[in-house]
Amino acid sequence: MPLPIIAEGFAKGLSAIPYAYTVLKFAPWLLLIYALKMYFGGKSNRSERVMHSKVVMITGGTSGVGAIVARELAQRGAQIVLLTQHELTDFFLVEFIMQMRADTNNELITAEQVDLASLHSIRKFATKWIDNAPPRRLDMIVLCGNTMTPASGKATTTEDGLESNWGINYIANFHLLSILSPALRVQPPDRDVRIIFGSCSSYMGGSLAHVPVPETPKEGAKASKKSKTAAVARPISKGPAFSPSIAYATSKFALITFANAFQKHLDAYQRPDKAPMNARVINVDPGWTRTPGMRRYLTVGSLWGLLAYVVMWPFWWLVLKSPDQGAQSFLFAAMEAEIRQGEGGKLVKECRLVPIMRSEVTDENLQQALWQETEKTIEALETEGAIRRAGKKEERQPMGTVTEELDAEKAAEETQRDVRRPGSRKSKKAAASTVK
Protein backbone atom coordinates (compact mmCIF):
# COMPACT_ATOMS: atom_id res chain seq x y z
CA MET A 1 0.00 0.00 0.00
CA PRO A 2 2.69 2.65 0.82
CA LEU A 3 4.73 1.88 -2.30
CA PRO A 4 2.02 2.84 -4.83
CA ILE A 5 1.34 6.05 -2.89
CA ILE A 6 5.05 6.94 -2.91
CA ALA A 7 5.28 6.14 -6.63
CA GLU A 8 2.27 8.38 -7.25
CA GLY A 9 3.98 11.20 -5.40
CA PHE A 10 7.15 10.88 -7.46
CA ALA A 11 5.21 10.69 -10.72
CA LYS A 12 2.61 13.41 -10.23
CA GLY A 13 3.96 15.41 -7.28
CA LEU A 14 2.87 15.71 -3.64
CA SER A 15 -0.36 17.43 -4.61
CA ALA A 16 -1.57 14.09 -5.99
CA ILE A 17 -1.39 12.54 -2.51
CA PRO A 18 -4.29 13.53 -0.21
CA TYR A 19 -3.20 15.41 2.96
CA ALA A 20 0.48 15.07 2.00
CA TYR A 21 1.39 18.62 3.03
CA THR A 22 -0.51 18.25 6.30
CA VAL A 23 1.36 15.05 7.12
CA LEU A 24 4.72 16.61 6.31
CA LYS A 25 3.86 19.60 8.46
CA PHE A 26 3.08 17.57 11.58
CA ALA A 27 5.47 14.64 11.07
CA PRO A 28 8.53 16.39 12.60
CA TRP A 29 6.55 17.30 15.72
CA LEU A 30 5.27 13.76 16.09
CA LEU A 31 8.79 12.43 15.74
CA LEU A 32 10.01 14.91 18.35
CA ILE A 33 7.29 13.86 20.80
CA TYR A 34 8.12 10.21 20.18
CA ALA A 35 11.83 10.85 20.77
CA LEU A 36 11.14 12.75 24.02
CA LYS A 37 8.80 10.02 25.22
CA MET A 38 11.44 7.37 24.57
CA TYR A 39 14.04 9.50 26.39
CA PHE A 40 11.95 10.20 29.48
CA GLY A 41 10.61 6.63 29.52
CA GLY A 42 14.05 5.27 30.34
CA LYS A 43 15.55 1.89 29.55
CA SER A 44 13.85 -1.49 29.75
CA ASN A 45 15.10 -4.46 31.71
CA ARG A 46 16.70 -7.16 29.54
CA SER A 47 17.85 -9.46 32.35
CA GLU A 48 16.03 -12.65 33.23
CA ARG A 49 16.31 -15.06 36.12
CA VAL A 50 14.55 -18.22 37.22
CA MET A 51 12.17 -17.08 39.98
CA HIS A 52 10.26 -20.32 40.61
CA SER A 53 10.19 -21.33 44.31
CA LYS A 54 11.75 -18.03 45.41
CA VAL A 55 10.00 -16.16 48.24
CA VAL A 56 9.77 -12.40 47.69
CA MET A 57 8.52 -9.98 50.36
CA ILE A 58 7.28 -6.61 49.01
CA THR A 59 6.17 -3.43 50.76
CA GLY A 60 3.99 -1.05 48.77
CA GLY A 61 3.05 -3.88 46.43
CA THR A 62 -0.61 -2.96 45.97
CA SER A 63 -0.19 0.24 43.96
CA GLY A 64 2.21 2.13 41.73
CA VAL A 65 5.63 0.71 40.95
CA GLY A 66 5.39 -1.91 43.71
CA ALA A 67 2.29 -3.49 42.16
CA ILE A 68 4.05 -3.81 38.79
CA VAL A 69 7.13 -5.37 40.41
CA ALA A 70 4.94 -7.85 42.30
CA ARG A 71 3.05 -8.77 39.12
CA GLU A 72 6.20 -9.23 37.02
CA LEU A 73 7.91 -11.42 39.62
CA ALA A 74 4.73 -13.43 40.12
CA GLN A 75 4.51 -14.06 36.38
CA ARG A 76 7.97 -15.60 36.59
CA GLY A 77 6.83 -18.02 39.29
CA ALA A 78 7.96 -16.30 42.51
CA GLN A 79 6.00 -16.67 45.73
CA ILE A 80 4.88 -13.15 46.65
CA VAL A 81 4.21 -11.94 50.19
CA LEU A 82 2.58 -8.50 50.11
CA LEU A 83 3.03 -6.38 53.23
CA THR A 84 0.02 -4.08 53.33
CA GLN A 85 -1.69 -1.81 55.83
CA HIS A 86 -5.12 -3.16 54.80
CA GLU A 87 -6.98 -5.73 56.86
CA LEU A 88 -6.57 -9.18 55.35
CA THR A 89 -10.36 -9.35 54.96
CA ASP A 90 -10.50 -5.99 53.18
CA PHE A 91 -12.54 -6.28 49.98
CA PHE A 92 -10.02 -4.30 47.93
CA LEU A 93 -7.11 -6.47 49.05
CA VAL A 94 -8.97 -9.73 48.41
CA GLU A 95 -10.00 -8.58 44.92
CA PHE A 96 -6.47 -7.34 44.18
CA ILE A 97 -4.87 -10.68 45.13
CA MET A 98 -7.48 -12.75 43.28
CA GLN A 99 -7.04 -10.61 40.16
CA MET A 100 -3.25 -10.86 40.33
CA ARG A 101 -3.45 -14.63 40.75
CA ALA A 102 -5.64 -14.87 37.67
CA ASP A 103 -3.46 -12.51 35.59
CA THR A 104 -0.18 -14.24 36.49
CA ASN A 105 -1.48 -17.81 36.71
CA ASN A 106 0.25 -17.99 40.09
CA GLU A 107 -1.60 -19.01 43.24
CA LEU A 108 1.40 -18.33 45.50
CA ILE A 109 0.42 -14.72 46.22
CA THR A 110 -0.46 -13.91 49.82
CA ALA A 111 -0.56 -10.86 52.08
CA GLU A 112 0.38 -9.95 55.65
CA GLN A 113 -0.93 -6.91 57.49
CA VAL A 114 1.92 -4.53 58.30
CA ASP A 115 1.29 -0.84 58.87
CA LEU A 116 4.55 0.98 58.16
CA ALA A 117 3.26 3.93 60.18
CA SER A 118 3.19 1.76 63.32
CA LEU A 119 6.35 0.37 64.94
CA HIS A 120 4.20 -2.05 66.94
CA SER A 121 2.62 -3.45 63.78
CA ILE A 122 6.04 -3.94 62.19
CA ARG A 123 7.39 -5.74 65.25
CA LYS A 124 4.36 -8.05 65.50
CA PHE A 125 4.81 -9.22 61.92
CA ALA A 126 8.61 -9.46 61.88
CA THR A 127 8.89 -11.38 65.15
CA LYS A 128 6.20 -13.78 63.98
CA TRP A 129 8.13 -14.34 60.76
CA ILE A 130 11.47 -15.16 62.41
CA ASP A 131 9.96 -17.26 65.25
CA ASN A 132 10.08 -20.45 63.25
CA ALA A 133 12.34 -23.52 63.12
CA PRO A 134 13.65 -24.29 60.63
CA PRO A 135 13.90 -20.66 59.43
CA ARG A 136 11.46 -19.65 56.70
CA ARG A 137 12.78 -19.25 53.20
CA LEU A 138 13.32 -15.62 52.17
CA ASP A 139 15.07 -14.88 48.89
CA MET A 140 14.26 -11.21 48.41
CA ILE A 141 12.84 -8.13 50.13
CA VAL A 142 11.68 -5.29 47.89
CA LEU A 143 11.04 -2.03 49.77
CA CYS A 144 8.65 0.00 47.62
CA GLY A 145 6.57 1.37 50.50
CA ASN A 146 6.80 5.14 50.39
CA THR A 147 5.03 8.39 51.24
CA MET A 148 5.43 11.95 50.01
CA THR A 149 3.88 15.05 51.59
CA PRO A 150 2.15 17.33 49.00
CA ALA A 151 4.24 20.28 47.83
CA SER A 152 2.36 22.82 49.96
CA GLY A 153 1.18 20.37 52.61
CA LYS A 154 1.73 20.55 56.35
CA ALA A 155 3.69 18.05 58.37
CA THR A 156 1.82 14.90 59.41
CA THR A 157 2.90 12.29 61.91
CA THR A 158 2.79 8.53 62.21
CA GLU A 159 1.07 6.62 64.98
CA ASP A 160 4.24 6.94 67.06
CA GLY A 161 4.58 10.70 66.57
CA LEU A 162 7.29 10.70 63.89
CA GLU A 163 7.11 12.99 60.88
CA SER A 164 5.53 10.84 58.15
CA ASN A 165 8.32 11.01 55.56
CA TRP A 166 10.96 10.21 58.16
CA GLY A 167 8.87 7.58 59.91
CA ILE A 168 7.61 5.63 56.88
CA ASN A 169 10.39 6.08 54.33
CA TYR A 170 13.26 5.45 56.74
CA ILE A 171 12.41 4.40 60.31
CA ALA A 172 9.90 1.73 59.22
CA ASN A 173 12.39 0.10 56.83
CA PHE A 174 15.13 0.22 59.46
CA HIS A 175 12.85 -1.40 62.03
CA LEU A 176 11.64 -4.10 59.65
CA LEU A 177 15.10 -5.11 58.43
CA SER A 178 16.75 -4.97 61.84
CA ILE A 179 14.27 -7.59 63.10
CA LEU A 180 14.35 -9.70 59.91
CA SER A 181 18.14 -9.64 59.82
CA PRO A 182 18.52 -13.15 61.39
CA ALA A 183 16.18 -14.59 58.76
CA LEU A 184 18.40 -13.14 56.02
CA ARG A 185 21.69 -14.29 57.51
CA VAL A 186 20.68 -17.94 57.99
CA GLN A 187 19.61 -18.59 54.40
CA PRO A 188 21.62 -21.43 52.78
CA PRO A 189 24.80 -20.25 51.02
CA ASP A 190 23.60 -21.39 47.59
CA ARG A 191 20.74 -18.85 47.60
CA ASP A 192 21.07 -15.45 46.00
CA VAL A 193 19.45 -13.25 48.65
CA ARG A 194 18.75 -9.62 47.72
CA ILE A 195 17.42 -6.66 49.69
CA ILE A 196 16.26 -3.94 47.28
CA PHE A 197 15.75 -0.41 48.59
CA GLY A 198 13.52 2.03 46.70
CA SER A 199 15.60 5.20 46.50
CA CYS A 200 15.21 8.52 44.69
CA SER A 201 17.58 11.05 43.14
CA SER A 202 16.26 13.59 45.65
CA TYR A 203 18.59 12.01 48.24
CA MET A 204 21.27 14.36 46.89
CA GLY A 205 19.36 17.27 48.46
CA GLY A 206 18.87 15.60 51.83
CA SER A 207 20.59 16.67 55.04
CA LEU A 208 21.43 14.67 58.15
CA ALA A 209 22.86 17.64 60.02
CA HIS A 210 20.50 16.87 62.92
CA VAL A 211 22.23 13.50 63.43
CA PRO A 212 24.93 13.93 66.09
CA VAL A 213 28.11 12.45 64.61
CA PRO A 214 31.05 12.07 67.03
CA GLU A 215 34.30 13.64 65.93
CA THR A 216 37.07 11.28 64.87
CA PRO A 217 40.08 11.96 67.14
CA LYS A 218 43.40 12.56 65.46
CA GLU A 219 45.95 9.77 65.54
CA GLY A 220 47.72 9.65 68.88
CA ALA A 221 45.33 12.11 70.52
CA LYS A 222 42.66 11.34 73.08
CA ALA A 223 39.05 12.11 72.28
CA SER A 224 37.91 15.32 73.88
CA LYS A 225 35.03 15.45 76.31
CA LYS A 226 33.05 17.41 73.74
CA SER A 227 33.48 14.74 71.06
CA LYS A 228 32.48 11.99 73.50
CA THR A 229 29.21 13.65 74.41
CA ALA A 230 28.36 14.98 70.95
CA ALA A 231 26.84 11.66 69.88
CA VAL A 232 23.87 12.05 72.21
CA ALA A 233 23.36 15.78 71.82
CA ARG A 234 19.95 15.71 70.15
CA PRO A 235 17.38 12.98 69.48
CA ILE A 236 17.03 12.02 65.85
CA SER A 237 13.24 12.48 65.89
CA LYS A 238 13.70 16.27 66.18
CA GLY A 239 14.99 17.38 62.79
CA PRO A 240 15.19 20.77 61.09
CA ALA A 241 12.20 22.97 60.24
CA PHE A 242 9.69 21.11 58.08
CA SER A 243 9.67 21.45 54.32
CA PRO A 244 7.93 18.78 52.17
CA SER A 245 10.73 18.49 49.62
CA ILE A 246 13.54 18.57 52.18
CA ALA A 247 11.76 16.10 54.47
CA TYR A 248 11.37 13.62 51.63
CA ALA A 249 14.95 14.10 50.42
CA THR A 250 16.31 13.68 53.95
CA SER A 251 14.37 10.45 54.48
CA LYS A 252 15.79 9.04 51.23
CA PHE A 253 19.30 10.19 52.13
CA ALA A 254 19.00 8.42 55.49
CA LEU A 255 17.62 5.31 53.78
CA ILE A 256 20.45 5.00 51.28
CA THR A 257 22.98 5.59 54.09
CA PHE A 258 21.35 2.85 56.14
CA ALA A 259 21.35 0.53 53.11
CA ASN A 260 25.14 0.74 52.89
CA ALA A 261 25.46 0.25 56.64
CA PHE A 262 23.13 -2.75 56.50
CA GLN A 263 25.35 -4.43 53.89
CA LYS A 264 28.29 -4.08 56.30
CA HIS A 265 26.11 -5.45 59.07
CA LEU A 266 25.36 -8.55 56.99
CA ASP A 267 28.96 -8.99 55.86
CA ALA A 268 30.20 -8.86 59.46
CA TYR A 269 28.23 -12.00 60.33
CA GLN A 270 30.34 -15.16 60.57
CA ARG A 271 28.30 -18.06 59.23
CA PRO A 272 28.64 -21.39 61.09
CA ASP A 273 29.37 -23.11 57.76
CA LYS A 274 32.17 -20.58 57.06
CA ALA A 275 30.55 -19.77 53.69
CA PRO A 276 30.66 -16.16 52.47
CA MET A 277 27.65 -13.93 53.04
CA ASN A 278 25.19 -14.42 50.19
CA ALA A 279 22.93 -11.41 50.86
CA ARG A 280 23.28 -8.30 48.71
CA VAL A 281 21.85 -4.84 49.35
CA ILE A 282 20.88 -2.86 46.23
CA ASN A 283 19.57 0.70 45.98
CA VAL A 284 17.23 1.44 43.07
CA ASP A 285 16.26 4.83 41.66
CA PRO A 286 13.20 4.24 39.43
CA GLY A 287 13.07 7.84 38.21
CA TRP A 288 10.09 10.20 38.22
CA THR A 289 7.01 8.04 37.80
CA ARG A 290 3.26 8.64 37.63
CA THR A 291 2.49 6.89 40.90
CA PRO A 292 -0.31 7.80 43.34
CA GLY A 293 2.31 9.39 45.61
CA MET A 294 3.71 11.56 42.82
CA ARG A 295 0.19 12.59 41.81
CA ARG A 296 -0.61 13.54 45.38
CA TYR A 297 2.58 15.59 45.57
CA LEU A 298 1.95 17.42 42.30
CA THR A 299 -1.70 18.17 43.08
CA VAL A 300 -0.67 19.57 46.51
CA GLY A 301 -3.50 17.48 47.96
CA SER A 302 -6.28 19.79 46.71
CA LEU A 303 -9.10 19.69 44.15
CA TRP A 304 -7.69 22.77 42.37
CA GLY A 305 -4.35 21.01 42.14
CA LEU A 306 -6.07 17.93 40.74
CA LEU A 307 -7.76 20.10 38.11
CA ALA A 308 -4.40 21.59 37.14
CA TYR A 309 -2.92 18.10 36.99
CA VAL A 310 -5.67 16.97 34.59
CA VAL A 311 -5.22 20.05 32.39
CA MET A 312 -1.45 19.44 32.27
CA TRP A 313 -1.86 15.68 31.75
CA PRO A 314 -0.18 15.68 28.28
CA PHE A 315 2.92 17.24 29.83
CA TRP A 316 3.02 14.78 32.76
CA TRP A 317 2.42 11.91 30.33
CA LEU A 318 5.46 13.05 28.38
CA VAL A 319 8.00 13.71 31.15
CA LEU A 320 6.94 11.16 33.79
CA LYS A 321 7.39 7.42 33.48
CA SER A 322 4.50 5.02 33.66
CA PRO A 323 4.54 2.56 36.59
CA ASP A 324 5.66 -0.17 34.16
CA GLN A 325 8.61 1.93 33.05
CA GLY A 326 9.49 2.86 36.63
CA ALA A 327 9.52 -0.83 37.62
CA GLN A 328 12.20 -1.75 35.07
CA SER A 329 15.15 -0.82 37.31
CA PHE A 330 13.63 -2.83 40.18
CA LEU A 331 13.32 -5.85 37.88
CA PHE A 332 16.92 -5.36 36.76
CA ALA A 333 18.08 -5.29 40.39
CA ALA A 334 16.06 -8.44 41.11
CA MET A 335 17.29 -10.47 38.16
CA GLU A 336 20.66 -9.18 36.90
CA ALA A 337 23.27 -11.90 37.57
CA GLU A 338 26.30 -9.59 37.82
CA ILE A 339 24.91 -7.70 40.80
CA ARG A 340 25.51 -10.66 43.08
CA GLN A 341 29.25 -10.30 42.47
CA GLY A 342 31.36 -7.82 44.43
CA GLU A 343 30.29 -5.45 47.18
CA GLY A 344 26.73 -4.51 47.98
CA GLY A 345 25.25 -1.09 48.48
CA LYS A 346 25.08 -0.33 44.78
CA LEU A 347 22.72 2.11 43.05
CA VAL A 348 20.75 0.98 40.02
CA LYS A 349 19.36 3.65 37.71
CA GLU A 350 18.04 3.17 34.18
CA CYS A 351 18.88 -0.55 34.40
CA ARG A 352 22.58 0.00 35.01
CA LEU A 353 24.89 0.44 37.97
CA VAL A 354 25.84 4.04 38.72
CA PRO A 355 27.96 5.59 41.49
CA ILE A 356 26.30 7.17 44.50
CA MET A 357 26.78 10.92 44.24
CA ARG A 358 26.96 11.73 47.97
CA SER A 359 30.24 10.64 49.54
CA GLU A 360 28.72 10.95 53.03
CA VAL A 361 26.74 7.76 52.33
CA THR A 362 29.90 5.70 52.83
CA ASP A 363 31.03 7.64 55.94
CA GLU A 364 31.28 5.00 58.66
CA ASN A 365 30.96 7.59 61.44
CA LEU A 366 27.69 8.86 59.97
CA GLN A 367 26.43 5.32 59.43
CA GLN A 368 27.21 4.36 63.02
CA ALA A 369 25.70 7.51 64.50
CA LEU A 370 22.56 7.16 62.38
CA TRP A 371 22.18 3.50 63.32
CA GLN A 372 22.66 4.08 67.05
CA GLU A 373 20.36 7.08 67.27
CA THR A 374 17.68 5.30 65.24
CA GLU A 375 17.80 2.34 67.62
CA LYS A 376 17.45 4.71 70.60
CA THR A 377 14.51 6.47 68.95
CA ILE A 378 12.71 3.21 68.18
CA GLU A 379 13.30 1.86 71.68
CA ALA A 380 11.92 5.03 73.26
CA LEU A 381 8.90 5.17 70.95
CA GLU A 382 8.07 1.50 71.43
CA THR A 383 8.20 1.96 75.19
CA GLU A 384 5.87 4.96 74.96
CA GLY A 385 3.56 3.00 72.67
CA ALA A 386 3.38 0.06 75.06
CA ILE A 387 2.53 2.37 77.96
CA ARG A 388 -0.09 4.13 75.84
CA ARG A 389 -1.75 0.85 74.82
CA ALA A 390 -1.76 -0.35 78.43
CA GLY A 391 -3.36 2.93 79.50
CA LYS A 392 -6.12 2.62 76.91
CA LYS A 393 -6.80 -0.90 78.07
CA GLU A 394 -7.13 0.28 81.68
CA GLU A 395 -9.56 3.02 80.62
CA ARG A 396 -11.81 0.52 78.90
CA GLN A 397 -11.89 -1.92 81.82
CA PRO A 398 -11.81 -1.71 85.65
CA MET A 399 -8.40 -2.08 87.24
CA GLY A 400 -9.32 -5.36 88.87
CA THR A 401 -10.40 -6.85 85.57
CA VAL A 402 -7.17 -5.73 83.90
CA THR A 403 -5.10 -7.28 86.72
CA GLU A 404 -6.99 -10.55 86.42
CA GLU A 405 -6.50 -10.57 82.65
CA LEU A 406 -2.76 -9.90 83.02
CA ASP A 407 -2.46 -12.77 85.49
CA ALA A 408 -4.37 -15.01 83.08
CA GLU A 409 -2.14 -13.97 80.20
CA LYS A 410 0.98 -14.76 82.25
CA ALA A 411 -0.41 -18.15 83.21
CA ALA A 412 -1.30 -18.89 79.60
CA GLU A 413 2.17 -17.82 78.51
CA GLU A 414 3.76 -20.16 81.07
CA THR A 415 1.63 -23.03 79.76
CA GLN A 416 2.37 -22.13 76.16
CA ARG A 417 6.10 -22.34 76.79
CA ASP A 418 5.75 -26.10 76.97
CA VAL A 419 3.35 -26.47 74.06
CA ARG A 420 4.32 -24.29 71.12
CA ARG A 421 3.23 -24.72 67.54
CA PRO A 422 4.88 -27.67 65.73
CA GLY A 423 8.23 -26.83 64.23
CA SER A 424 9.17 -23.98 66.56
CA ARG A 425 12.32 -24.05 68.68
CA LYS A 426 10.52 -24.16 71.99
CA SER A 427 8.23 -27.02 70.93
CA LYS A 428 11.30 -29.06 70.02
CA LYS A 429 12.88 -28.32 73.42
CA ALA A 430 9.66 -29.29 75.15
CA ALA A 431 9.48 -32.51 73.16
CA ALA A 432 13.10 -33.35 73.98
CA SER A 433 12.56 -32.78 77.70
CA THR A 434 9.45 -35.01 77.62
CA VAL A 435 11.39 -37.83 75.98
CA LYS A 436 14.09 -37.60 78.62
In 10 A of CB 421, how many CB atoms?
Answer: 10
- Annotated catalytic residue, options 54, 154, 252, 392: 252
How far is Cα 65 from Cα 286, in angstroms, rounded to an integer?
A: 8
For residues 373 and 212, the answer to whether their CB atoms sit within 8 Å is yes
Cα–Cα distance for residue pair 303/309, rounded to 1 Å: 10
- Quick one: which of 339, 344, 184 has its CA closest to 269? 184
Give the Cα separation of 205 and 248 in Å (integer): 9
Q: What is the dihedral of CA 162, 366, 376, 146, to 10 degrees?
A: 30
Residue type present at position 155: A
List C-alpha distances in Å: 201 to 106, 161, 356.
34, 27, 10
Other beta carbons within 10 angstroms of residue 112's beta carbon come to 15
Known catalytic membership, residue 252: yes
Neighbours of 84 (CB within 10 A): 25
Residues paired with 6 in a beta bridge: none
Length of the chain: 436
For the chain, the C-alpha Rg in angstroms (whole number) is 26
b/e sequence 86-99, b meaning 16+ C-beta within 10 Å: beeeeeebeebbee
The helices-and-strands tally (H runs, E runs) of the chain is 17, 8
Distance of alpha carbon 377 from alpha carbon 13, whole angstroms: 77
Collect all residues with Cβ–Cβ distance below 8 Å to 301 and sequence separation of at least 6. 150, 152, 153
Q: How far apart are CA 90 and CA 233, in angstroms?
A: 44
Helix residue spans in 105-170 (DSSP H) = 119-130, 164
Catalytic residue numbers read 252
